[in-house]
Amino acid sequence: MKTTRTSLFLMANLGPEVARVLSAKEKNKADLLGSAVDRARNIIAELKKLPDTKNNTEIDILDDVVNDLGKKNSIYEISSEEFTSYFLPFAMRLTRV
């Protein structure tokens, strides 16, 4: 059985991937960081194709933030707690469906 990849599903799965990005960055693991950023960007690319998130500015901002996280010297200062509080509602709604 294939899971339908709705925007809610993708956002709920983007959260843990961003957590992996942050963890790899904290541990200074370039290989893990690169692969986590790639996976997160693939999720974002899928989001950009869906009708309800296709031209969504918030998705564009997330893309920019994820790209920035993958850089050695990030310009954005966003804590893991802030990311958790952002993504948690998506995961909570998905588990209620």
pLDDT tens column, 80-89: 899 999 999 9
The half-sphere exposure of 21 on its side-chain side, counting CA atoms within 13 A, is 27
In tens, the pLDDT along 15-63 reads 999 999 999 999 999 999 999 999 999 999 999 999 999 889 999 999 9
**46 and 6 Cβ atoms separated by less than 8 Å:** no
pTM beyond cutoff 0.85: yes
**18 and 69 Cβ atoms separated by less than 8 Å:** yes
User: What is the C-alpha to C-alpha distance for residues 40 and 67, in angstroms, rounded to an integer?
Assistant: 9
* DSSP structure class, residue 71: S
Per the structure block, which two tokens stand in for 4? 């339908």
Whether pLDDT at 1 is above 80: no
